[in-house]
Amino acid sequence: MRNMALALVFSAMPAAAAEEVTVLALGDSLTAGYGLPEGEGFVPQMQQWLRDHGESVSLVNAGVSGDTTAGGRARLDWSLTPEVDAMIVNLGGNDMLRGLDPALTRGNLEAILKTAEDRGLPVLLVGLAAPGNYGPDFKRSFDAIFPGLAQSYGADLEPNFFAALAARLDEPDARQRYMQPDGIHPSAEGVAVIVEEMGPRVQALVERARQ
């Protein structure tokens, strides 16, 4: 009877809350939320998505508008505070827009992933697809950076930040709905679509951090 009573007591107690995970979102304007009201950028929308799906997560916005992979690499050490458990790396767009040598982009991202590996931090690497205006060789080299590095360093991969929006281009007024007037940055509604698509990958990253 005593054992049964104890079992009833413990079964009535709520399950222990999962330990909070701190994820550093290292990126450029796409991460920082350029052009959007506070609370509508990638980080706050992803934070809310994770909470809505039962995750105890602190998502740190380390996005700097205009940053290249070299800039992200330069500020990585002081961005990685002791409480960081995992990283989202969303860099490379400004390298692409400036037509920088993809070998330089790859080298900077590799250094970032190597630092994460040395610290035992799981990473979600977010890629981009280059346009064709720099020529087929540039596009081929740039597009290969992200899957290649993800495979080499065991990182999770989101192949293309804009993939979810590209899939909706046939919708009426898609560009006006999902993109800001500059045609480069997503609108708040566009961010919501991206977050809905990418959320499960970030959730998987959180689970890796808890293991």
Active site amino acids: 29, 182, 185
Determine the Cα–Cα distance for residues 114 and 118; give it in Å rounded to an integer.
6
203: its two tokens:
């959730």
DSSP H helices in 119-211: 136-153, 163-166, 174-178, 188-210
Distance, first Cα to last Cα, the chain? 37
**Residue whose C-alpha is closest to residue 209's, from 160, 158, 148, 156:** 156
CA 45, 51, 53, 55 torsion-angle sign: positive
